[in-house]
Amino acid sequence: MADYETHHYDVVIIGAGGAGLRAAIEAKSRGLSTALVCKSLLGKAHTVMAEGGVAAAMGNVYPEDNWQVHFRDTMRGGKYLNSWRMAQLHAQEAPDRVYELEAWGALFDRTTDGRITQRDFGGHRYARLAHVGDRTGLELIRTLQQKAVSMDIDVFMECKVLSLLTTADGAVGGAVGYWRASGEIVVFEAKSVVLATGSIGRCFTYTSNSWESTGDGHAMALWAGADVIEMECVQFHPTGMVWPLSVRGLLVTEGVRGDGGALKNSEGRRFMFDYIPEMFRAETAETEQEADAWYEDHANNRRTPDLLPRDEVARAINAEVKAGRGSPHGGVFLDIASRRSPEYIRQRLPSMYHQFMELAGVDITAEPMEVGPTCHYMMGGVRVDPESQAATVPGLFAAGEVAGGMHGANRLGGNSLSDLLVFGRRAGMGAADFAEGTARGDRSGESAIDPAQIDHVVAGAMAPFERDGGENPYDIHRDLQTTMQSLVGIIRTGSELEEALERLGDLRERAAKVSVRGGRAYNPGWNLATDLPSMLTVSTAIAQGALARKESRGGHTRDDYPTADPELGKVNFVQRQTDDRGFLAPIRIGPEPLAEMPQELRELLEEGH
């Protein structure tokens, strides 16, 4: 039997980005014993990299903004594949969550009359993003972190969770992982577990995501028997850095365009005017004059096509590069230097200025940036109940990027930070409700977790040390990324997806034979080996979903089915592992109808404003 320490909590939250922290604060405020478990140090999670802002219809800049408009924008941006109820709750509750952060010490940028100011972003009808320069995510995570610390929430830092643990009746009752510093095994028994593990970006070569984004929560939910939905919907952010190669994929905030930056091709043409889709034609400027005037006067001008939703802009850039009108390093130009003063740029976009100056030697106040699409966000994820964020397995909850439904086929910028806050809180509430109503995990009673289950997970994690002559995990990871980038990337086609699934099968077999050397203490090679199963499960789910969805919608674009199919717009592709679980086991997939939207919300979508 494996040797390990065991901790008992009412609620265990896996992941300490915005959603995990917000969930922990909620559960702890209910008086429940709460643990926060994270792969990195507290305060380093990927939320820290969010730049542009938190979308919330506070109406501080445009009083005509309200939750109905935000709801409509979110649904249209998501190409109607969203869970309407999540989109509604999100739009309704986001302003309160922002004001709550302010009461916890966040210092947002202000309007001249002292209120929280808001900035323009793609797909949002009104200036709606509360922000702090271009480091909003840092402000958000630091505020939540400091709140959590003041509440004395137990934090397990640099602790990688390998698997959820289930009770005899199939409910989730804990998790098993290891301390990265020592490699020692740690077991959590809990009445409820919240997944807040973030994204999957490391499955792709070019990504704005950190090493942590390996889809652990998506995969662990599948392994525990929970449903995931819309895994084909991966967002490629249109503007990542393309040069130097070492920073390729690093995010360039949409705030550059929100604050006046324009996309141009090698001929100097503002090409976005050539890519305005029918759905957005009525509300998008047709001339440069109108687009430029819109920045100052939203009422009498239509918005610039540079701020179309991300999926549209990413596809347009892809097409320009393909047509030979790209920049020297295979992107396009993003120009704010010729359009705004150096002082304005440095004040509004300090970290972008810093990032380009130090990493690329480019002064963005004097010359254009080179940008191209980068894997940025996972719309798909664990299927949850909109009110409580409960997964389809009892005792399991999910919030933030690991949860599916909120953003449909494409997320609007700014909607992820608000998502974290709104649904992090709701997941904390849901998990607390569940913990209060269940006797499982009672410290005094017998453990409901079968130790054999723990031993099985531990044996799997330790096996790479015992194997000789297996492959280096880095090689497998690189091949996985190449496969996903080249065959399941921004533009997809049926034959390539089939090839990807075949290659992923080979990669799973290779990963099952991986070897690592060195000890267990802070060993990145071994850490990567334990991340590979998650990435392989998630990559397989993405490729399967992409093959099943025979249409183009939002972040999912099929060359062989270039238009949206109204019938497929009514279904989610749901994936699940049944009897046989784990990263080597098959994943089943099938369409299930979306929930019916009430008439009054339907009318909001149809309003032409």
Partner 1 sequence: MTDAMPAATPPQPSGSAEPSEPSGSAEPSGPPEPSEPAGLSEPSGPSEPAGLSGSAEDGDAEHTLEPAPEADDEGSVTLRVWRGDQTGGELVDYTLPAQSGEVVLDVVHRIQATVAPDLACRWNCKAGKCGSCSSEINGKPRLMCMTRVDELPEGPITVTPMRTFPIVRDLVTDVSFNYEVASRVPAFAPAPPGPEGYRMQQVDVARGQEFRKCIECFLCQNVCHVIRDHEENKQHYAGPRFFARYAELEMHPLDTNDRRELLRQREGLGLCNITKCCTEVCPEHIKITDNAIIPLKERVVDSSYDPVAWLGRKILRRRKRSPGEAAAARG
Catalytic positions, please?
310
Question: Scanning residues 295 to 324, which ones bind partner 1 (CB under 8 A)?
Answer: none
Q: Looking at 65-73, 129-137, 439-447, 563-571, which segment touches partner 1 (CB under 8 A)? A: 129-137
Q: Looking at 220-228, 446-454, 504-512, 518-526, which segment touches partner 1 (CB under 8 A)? A: 518-526
Q: Binding to partner 1 by residue 517, rule CB under 8 A? A: yes
Q: Binding to partner 1 by residue 479, rule CB under 8 A? A: no
* Residues β-bridged to residue 184: none
Q: Binding to partner 1 by residue 485, rule CB under 8 A? A: no
Question: Of 478 and 588, which has the nearer Cβ to partner 1?
Answer: 478
Burial status of residue 569 (CB atoms within 10 A of its CB: 0-12, 13-18, 19 or more): middle
Q: What is the DSSP string of 211-272?
A: TT-S-HHHHHHHHTT--EE-TT-EEEEEEEE-SSGGGTT-B--THHHHTT-EEE-TTS--GG
Question: Scanning residues 176 to 195, which ones bind partner 1 (CB under 8 A)?
Answer: 181
DSSP 2: -
Secondary structure element (H or E) that encloses residue 79, with its range? none
Q: Binding to partner 1 by residue 114, rule CB under 8 A? A: yes
Cis geometry, peptide bond prior to residue 244 (ω within 30 degrees of 0)? yes
Residue among 6, 92, 146, 485 that touches partner 1 (CB under 8 A): 146
Kind of pairing between the strands at 54-55 and 396-398: unpaired
Task: Spell out, one character per residue from 249 to 278, where the chain touches partner 1: x when CB under 8 A holds, - when not.
Answer: -xx---------------------------
**What's the rounded Cα separation, in Å, for the pair 302 and 158?**
48
Query: Residue 334 Cβ, how far from partner 1 at the closest point, in Å?
Result: 17
Number of Cβ atoms within 10 Å of the Cβ of 480: 24
Q: Looking at 106-114, 392-400, 434-442, 543-551, which segment touches partner 1 (CB under 8 A)? A: 106-114
- Count residues contacting partner 1 (CB under 8 A)? 68
Residue among 33, 34, 40, 544 that touches partner 1 (CB under 8 A): 40
Residue among 10, 93, 189, 212 that touches partner 1 (CB under 8 A): 212
DSSP 400: G
The three state secondary structure string of 344-392 is HHHHHCHHHHHHHHHHCCCCCCCCCEEEEEEEEEECCEECCCCCCCECC
Contact 325, 264 (CB under 8 A): no
**What's the rounded Cα separation, in Å, for the pair 458 and 310?**
41
* Residues β-bridged to residue 110: 116
Question: Scanning residues 436 to 465, which ones bind partner 1 (CB under 8 A)?
Answer: none
Q: Binding to partner 1 by residue 516, rule CB under 8 A? A: yes
Phi/psi at 135 (nearest 5 deg)?
Answer: -130, 45
Q: Binding to partner 1 by residue 109, rule CB under 8 A? A: yes
Question: Of 505 and 518, which has the nearer Cβ to partner 1?
Answer: 518
Question: Coil, helix or strand for 558?
Answer: strand
Q: Binding to partner 1 by residue 518, rule CB under 8 A? A: yes
Query: Residue 587 Cβ, how far from partner 1 at the closest point, in Å?
Result: 29
Query: Residue 572 Cβ, how far from partner 1 at the closest point, in Å?
Result: 32
Q: Binding to partner 1 by residue 472, rule CB under 8 A? A: yes
List residues near partner 1 by CB under 8 A: 40-46, 48-49, 99, 102-105, 107-110, 112-115, 132-133, 135, 137-139, 142, 146-147, 149-150, 152, 157, 181, 210-212, 243-247, 250-251, 351, 354-355, 358-360, 472-475, 478, 516-519, 521-526, 528
